[in-house]
Amino acid sequence: MNVRLPSPQHLFLIQILATAMMTGIIWFVQVAHYPLFEKIPKEGFVAYENCNTTRTGWVVGPIMLAEIGAALALILLGYRMAFNPLHLIALGCLLLIWLSTLLIQIPLHGILSLRADPHTMDLLVSGNWIRTILWSLRLALLSVLLGMGKIF
């Protein structure tokens, strides 16, 4: 059986497309979605939040997994471009995004799934700037690599 590994170009393309999608999504979430939580009536907030996290997970989960999967595959398969300092910094941004998601956003959504808490909503908005900035920086770094022709 002959197994064909994905090319670094295909992996990079998957990575930069997923990063661009997540950058757009995170800016929408940061500027519109999270700040509007406070406008949802308290009596319907918990039901809204539980539906929101489920549906959002179905949208962003596959994109985030494709993004980190492609980034890690480049490293694990030993492709030279993966060890470019700009790519390694972009990977570091992604790891920090995942840490922020696991340590900040998910626990805050856990609280909001139980009660409408304005303080927790504020923490969600302010804490999400970490991911917004990191995804924006990550997209810029990957775009520079693309522009420099470092992947082809």
Tokens (6 digits) for 83: 């060890």
Domain that holds residue 122: 10-148
- CA of 117: how far to CAs of 66, 74, 124, 125, 142, in Å? 33, 42, 11, 13, 37
5 is a domain residue? no
- Asked, for residue 19, whether it belongs to a domain, the answer is yes
The verdict on residue 23 lying in a domain is yes
d(CA 33, CA 16) in angstroms, rounded, equals: 24
Spacing of C-alpha 16 from chain mean position: 12
Give pTM, 2 decimals: 0.93
Query: Do the domain assignments include residue 3?
Result: no
pLDDT digits (tens, 9 = 90+) for 100-124: 999 999 999 999 999 999 999 999 9
Q: How many domains does the chain have?
A: 1
Q: Which residues of the chain have pLDDT under 50?
A: none
**Do the domain assignments include residue 4?**
no
Residues 15-28 have pLDDT tens digits of 999 999 999 999 99
